[in-house]
Amino acid sequence: MTNDIKQKLEVPNITPFSLSSPEFLRNPYPIYDNLRSNNPIYRGNSFKYPGWYITGYEEAVAILKDHINFKNRTPLPQTSKKYEHLKNIQNDMMLFKNQHDHKRLRMLVSKVFSPSVVEEYRPYIEETVNDLLNKVQNKRQMDIVTDFAFPLASLIIAKILGVPSEERNQFREWAVSLIETIDFTRTRGTLVNGNDTTMLLIVYFKKLIKKRKQAPQDDLISMLIREEQHGDRLTDEELLATCILLVIAGHETTVNLISNSILTLLNHPEQLRMLKENPLLIKTAVEEFLRYESPTQMTARIALEDIELNGVTIKKGEQVYIMLGAANRDPKKFVEPNVLDITRNLNPHLAFGYGIHFCLGSSLARLEAQIAIQTLLQQMNHLQLATSDLQWRKLIGFRSLKELLVTFN
């Protein structure tokens, strides 16, 4: 390939935009389309986050499954002595591990998140959903995020971990603090707060883990303590980091999935009516919500070697931003990608990632969303948006509403 052609690929006619602008947060999809139409692998050197922006589906899959030439990004600079507790915990998290270290941790943890194990949580999820809806039934209005999705996710992951019921509500504040530490928009203040929160979580889970070692119960921590693969077990540090990771992961994806799904349905009344009339569509509907408004919008990798992909060369050490929300609307992969279709059957979306880093808690997130959305539609009639002025959190890695006010009868 000639230099002239390479230059054309790398410097296309891109409309200027900011990943944290209100316009982008409100609707990133036209910008994704603009990037993809020029080149699905675009080098954004003029952006606040310089690196390669991947908006094509096949290109995203190629990078996500290539753990030889690409590695997960380092959570925090290894040379920094700041935020020591947060850095040490993140270093032990499966989320930031690569190759053999990641495979080993995943094998030890994956059994406790298998679909069959997750299905055992169905009665508690149903009970919790009904309790939360009963609290707002007579108010005729609610905030889907604060009154429903967030407490649901908090209570479920805390219950699964084995946290006593009277202590579960504090997980909400912890989760909000920690998710901001792994987003690309994190600030020094965010990291300071995250470090303080991590210290609290370390103290809390050390005590709880000690109790479960002395007296195991039917909960996730006890299962992780018992789990062994070929004579290998989680170290105390890995067990601690896994518990804290689950506080983050158990909240953000599920909260965003439920909230975004309800918003999407309210913006598509014909699809809402179809789902109410045919509840059996809930599984394909949730998959379509995951594709259409992906809870996680972006993940990142670092090139380990110079590698050529689609005629451009990504050099060793360069950042690669994989826009999952863009890949899930690639017209080369999905028919009418900007159309919501809850009956869509072939739906190989990337909302939970792809390859060895595929989201371990995807089965749990799916089950929570299916139960939450279906029950809400059954119990709340004439569900409507209370305002069209929607506010999105300033997170560029996640599609996350600050609130979603609705009314109902």
| Per-residue pLDDT at 11 exceeds 90 | no
- Using alpha carbons, select from 179, 177, 175 the residue that is nearest to residue 152: 175
Nearest to 102 by CA among 245, 289, 279: 245
Residue for token pair 């409309």: 15
Cβ-Cβ contacts under 8 Å for 326 (sequence gap 6 or more): 28, 29, 32, 33, 35, 36, 54, 55, 56
pLDDT at position 14: 64
Instruction: Name which of 174, 149, 158, 191 is nearest 401 in CA terms.
Output: 149
Question: pTM here?
Answer: 0.89
pLDDT at 3: 39
Q: Residue 47: what pLDDT?
A: 66
pLDDT at res. 6: 37
Maximal CA-CA distance, the chain: 68
Parallel, antiparallel, or unpaired: how do β-strands 319-323 and 52-54 relate?
A: parallel
Residue type, 283: K
Residue 354 has pLDDT above 70, yes or no: yes
Question: How many structural domains comprise the chain?
Answer: 1
Whether 8 has a pLDDT exceeding 50, the answer reads: no
Please report, rounded to a whole number, the percentage of residues in the chain having pLDDT higher than 90.
57
CA distance 194 to 181: 6
Work out the burial of residue 20: count CB atoms within 10 Å of its CB; fewer than 13 is exposed, 13-18 middle, 19 or more buried.
middle
Judged against a pLDDT cut of 80, whether residue 60 lies above it is answered with yes
Q: With bands split at pLDDT 50, 70 and 90, how would you rate the model's confidence at 351?
A: very high
The alpha carbon dihedral of 57, 61, 63, 64 has a sign of positive
The mean-pLDDT minimum among 175-184, 185-194, 352-361 falls in 175-184
Average pLDDT of span 202-230: 87
pLDDT of residue 46: 61
Residue 206 belongs to domain spanning: 3-407
The residues with which 309 forms a beta bridge, in sequence order, are 312
What residues contact residue 154 under an 8 Å CB cut-off, 6+ apart? 168, 169, 171, 172, 175, 251
Is residue 262 predicted with pLDDT exceeding 90? Answer: yes
The residue-averaged pLDDT of 191-215 equals 91
Write down the pLDDT at residue 4. Answer: 36
CATH number of the domain bearing residue 258: 1.10.630.10
Q: Which residues of 214-253 are buried (b: 16+ CB within 10 A; e: fewer)?
A: eeeeebbbbbbbebeeeeeebeeebbbbbbbbbbbbbbbb
CA 266 from centroid of its chain's CA atoms: 22
pLDDT of residue 80: 59
Q: How far apart are CA 322 and CA 381, in angstroms?
A: 39
Contact 126, 95 (CB under 8 A): no
Average pLDDT over the chain, rounded to an integer: 88
For residue 361, pLDDT beyond 70: yes
Q: What is the mean pLDDT of the segment spanning 355-384?
A: 93
Q: What is the mean pLDDT of residues 211-237?
A: 84
Digit-coded pLDDT (tens) for 332-349: 999 999 999 999 999 999
Quick one: average pLDDT of 238-254? Answer: 86
* Mean pLDDT value of segment 74-102: 74
Q: Which residues of 268-289 are buried (b: 16+ CB within 10 A; e: fewer)?
A: beebbebbeeeeebbebbbbbb
Is a pLDDT exceeding 80 seen at residue 408?
yes
| C-alpha 301 chain-centroid distance | 16
With 0-12 / 13-18 / 19 or more C-beta atoms within 10 angstroms meaning exposed / middle / buried, residue 212 is buried
SS3 state of residue 216: coil
Q: Which H/E stretch holds residue 327?
A: helix 324-327
Q: What's the rounded mean pLDDT across residues 379-407? A: 94
| 78 backbone φψ class: left, alpha, beta (φ>0; ψ -120 to 50) | alpha
Other Cβ atoms less than 10 A from the Cβ of 104: the count is 17
Percent with pLDDT over 70 in the chain: 92
61-68: average pLDDT: 93
Read off the pLDDT of each residue in 25-36 and give the average, rounded to a whole number.
Answer: 93
Contact 191, 181 (CB under 8 A): yes
The 3-state DSSP class for residue 406 equals: strand
pLDDT digits (tens, 9 = 90+) for 372-391: 999 999 999 999 999 999 99
Task: Please check the confidence at residue 81 and state whether its pLDDT lies above 80.
Answer: no
The pLDDT of residue 1 is 37
pLDDT at 147 over 80: yes
So what's the pLDDT on residue 286?
A: 98
pLDDT band for position 62 (cuts 50, 70, 90): very high
Is the pLDDT assigned to residue 76 strictly greater than 70?
no
